Amino acid sequence: MEPGGSKRRVVVVGGGIAGSILARSIQFNADLTLIDPKEYLEIKWAQLRSKVEPSFAERAVVNYRDFFSNGRIITSTAINITENEVLTADGHHIGYDYLVIATGHSDNVPVSKTERLHYYDAENQKIQSARSILIVGGGPSGVELAGEISTDFPDKKVTLVHKGPRLLEYIGPKASDKGLSLLRSKKVDVKLQQSVDLKSASDGSQLYRTSTGESIKADCHFLCTRVPLSTAWLNETILKTNLDKDGRLKVDEYLRVKGCSNIFAIGDITDVPELKLGHAAIHHAYLVAKNLKLLMGGGKESKMSVYKPGPEVAMVSLGRKHAVAQFPFATLGGRIPGLIKSGDMFVGRTRKHLGLEP
């Protein structure tokens, strides 16, 4: 806060888990504006469970106003940044003293919570009405969806096709092997080192052709490939030279964009060398909130907290009771890691971060 009593203007671009926790944390310390093209936060690690149990999304999709009461929400997309303003697609010019970019990935999702819940109802109907299901992509989303469907609908034929040599390539081979073994124990047909021509079934034949010439019969398919980062828009802004070759913002030890004294970046869009996971994004949010409170209170930059990546822990759920977990000291698969994550998918814990009932 300025000596005269007026609060500093903080703009947060992006309302994923990092941007939302940051906004909630500093809402009473700043003149705060949150910019996001939708009206809600979605706890992303619950998305696959919501497809097989649509009512689960009621807790995992949260309107911003449920936890962010003291600030402005602009439901639009940021399209430009100047030295003192953020411009949005609907014509807003929002001035800032501090800016936090937390745009995450480019998800094409509905604007309202109601529309998002209807989406999960439709996805569930798609699963229920199918006898055979094709999942394309063997990253965490594809593996988790295969685990969810094969657990809740064991009579359905589930085929997962992945172009890489192993599943879950972002973590170690031991975790990949355990994930593959668990899926196959659930009778999921996993095909590695193949791609699928999704247009090959456009004639209504329900036969999808793979790159090796195989035909896969499926009543429907789910595309679970990587979603691009939402940073391309920054190429037209003052931060265009701050992006690395992968489209991530280069940050310093305080999570400030390098070369900028008043612009921070948090979440998956940073170039911090760590696994891009939810608990890391939450850590980013709390650290930058602490640093902003210090700076807005007149504290010295030298007193800011430094971000240090934590131990690399990754968990992939495979239905309601099983999971694969990679810890620094061990890799586990089965019911023990399932007890940690798979029942509630960390939704209750995440809601607590937002000050909500679990």
Q: Give pLDDT tens digits for 26-67.
A: 999 999 999 999 999 999 999 999 999 999 999 999 999 999
- Mean pLDDT confidence for 218-246: 96
Average pLDDT, the chain: 96
Burial 27-42 (b: 16+ CB within 10 A, else e): bebbbbbbbbbbbbbb
Q: DSSP H helical segments within the chain, as ranges?
A: 17-26, 47-52, 57-60, 113-129, 140-152, 173-185, 278-296, 335-341, 347-353
* Neighbouring-strand partners of residue 161: 136, 191
User: What is the pTM for the complete model shown?
Assistant: 0.95
Q: Give pLDDT tens digits for 57-98.
A: 999 999 999 999 999 999 999 999 999 999 999 999 999 999
Domain with CATH 3.50.50.100 in the chain: 113-226+313-347
Domain with CATH 3.50.50.60 in the chain: 9-37+76-107+227-310
For residues 348 and 43, the answer to whether their CB atoms sit within 8 Å is no
pLDDT at 204 over 80: no
| CATH code that applies to domain 113-226+313-347 | 3.50.50.100
The architecture in CATH of the region 9-37+76-107+227-310 reads: 3-Layer(bba) Sandwich (3.50)
Structure confidence at residue 35 (pLDDT) = 98
Structure confidence at residue 4 (pLDDT) = 46
